[in-house]
Amino acid sequence: GIQVEQSPPDLILQEGANSTLRCNFSDSVNNLQWFHQNPWGQLINLFYIPSGTKQNGRLSATTVATERYSLLYISSSQTTDSGVYFCAVRYYGGSQGNLIFGKGTKLSVKP
Amino acid sequence: DADVTQTPRNRITKTGKRIMLECSQTKGHDRMYWYRQDPGLGLRLIYYSFDVKDINKGEISDGYSVSRQAQAKFSLSLESAIPNQTALYFCATSAKSSSGTSSIGSYNEQFFGPGTRLTVL
C-alpha cells in the first residue's frame, strides 16, 4: 500500500514565525487533504488539494502530484495554530474509499 | 449546526459490554466512514459505506460491526468491548463523484465529525 510520511514530526515556533510542513507519498493520488487536529481532538479540514496551490488566509498549500509531495505553509503563526497537522491521501491503487493518514506534525506555538 | 454529528462524545465502559456509537449527517452525502485514532497515530479505517445497501470492511474491522440505517445515519457497534479498543473514533462523509456515479476513480473531500472518545476499562 501507499506510504505517507510527514516531516518534521514536531515543531516549536515563536508566535509570528512562519513554517513549512511537508507530506511525501509513495504512489499516485487522486485525493489529498490537510487537516488540523486541535487540542480537543477535533479534525478541521484545511485544504482539499490533490494538485496545485490554494490559499486560505495565513495558510496555503501546494501539491506537486508528479513529484509526490505536498507542502503546507503557515505564516505569522498564532498560538491557536497549535495542534497536530495531518496529511491524508487516497491513492489510485487503493480498493477502498478511505484516506490514508500520515502520522502528523505536532506544532506548538509559544506566545 | 454541525454537518456531521456523533453521539456520545465521551464514553467509559467495561470489558465485555456492548457499545454503539452513532453518526448523523446533514450534508446529503452518500458515502460514510468510520475511523479510529490511537494516541500518536493517524486515523485508520474500520468500515465504510457508499450507499444504504453497501457495507464494506476496512483495514481494522475485527471486533466491530456497522449498520447504515438511512442515508444520513451510520452506526458503529462494539459487540464485546475490550481495553485495546480504547481510542478516539471518527465518522466521516463524502459525496459521490461530480458525474453522479460511484466511480471508484472519483473521490471527493471527506468531512469529519467531532469524534467520540471511548475508554474500555
What's the whole-number average pLDDT of chain A?
Answer: 93
pLDDT band at A96 (very low <50, low <70, confident <90, very high): low
B47 alpha carbon, distance to own chain's centre = 7
The whole-number pLDDT of residue B104 equals: 39
The whole-number pLDDT of residue B12 equals: 97
Average pLDDT over residues A61-70: 96
DSSP code at position A98: P
Cis preceding linkage at A8, omega within 30: yes
Q: Establish how many alpha carbons lie within 13 A of residue B31's alpha carbon, considering only the half-sphere containing its beta carbon.
A: 23
Three cell numbers at A90? 487516497
The whole-number pLDDT of residue A2 equals: 86
CA-based nearest distance A48→chain B, Å = 6
Instruction: Tell whether A63 lies on the interface with B, counting CB pairs under 8 A.
Output: no
What's the whole-number average pLDDT of chain B?
Answer: 89
The whole-number pLDDT of residue B102 equals: 41
pLDDT band at A59 (very low <50, low <70, confident <90, very high): very high
Local structure of A67: helix, strand or coil: helix
Average pLDDT over residues A81-92: 91
Instruction: Tell whether A96 lies on the interface with B, counting CB pairs under 8 A.
Output: yes
CA-based nearest distance B58→chain A, Å = 7
The whole-number pLDDT of residue B95 equals: 86
Question: Which residues of B touch chain A, with CB atoms under 8 Å apart?
Answer: 31, 33, 35, 40-45, 48, 50, 56, 58-59, 88, 90, 94, 104-112, 114-115, 117
The whole-number pLDDT of residue B99 equals: 46
The 10s digit of each residue's pLDDT in B82-99 is 999 999 999 999 987 554
In a mutational test of the B interface, the residue from A5, A38, A42, A43 whose CB has the highest number of chain B CBs within 10 Å is: A43
Q: Which residue of A has its CA nearest to B57?
A: A96
Of the two residues B92 and A98, the one the predictor is more confident about is B92
Q: Are A83 and A36 in contact (CB under 8 A)?
A: yes
CA-based nearest distance A16→chain B, Å = 27
CA-based nearest distance A29→chain B, Å = 10
Chain B residues with CB-CB distance to A41 below 8 A: 88, 114-115, 117
Q: Are A25 and A3 in contact (CB under 8 A)?
A: yes
The whole-number pLDDT of residue B10 equals: 96
Q: Which amino acid is at A110?
A: K
The whole-number pLDDT of residue A93 equals: 64
d(CA A72, CA A63): 9
Chain A residues with CB-CB distance to B88 below 8 A: 41
The whole-number pLDDT of residue A35 equals: 96
Neighbours of B92 (CB within 10 A): 26
- The percentage of residues in chain A with a pLDDT greater than 90, rounded to a whole number, is 81
d(CA B29, CA B94): 6
Tell me the pLDDT of chain B (121 aa) as tens digits: 569 999 999 999 999 999 999 999 999 999 999 999 998 778 999 999 988 999 999 989 999 999 999 999 999 999 999 999 999 999 999 987 554 444 333 457 899 999 999 999 9
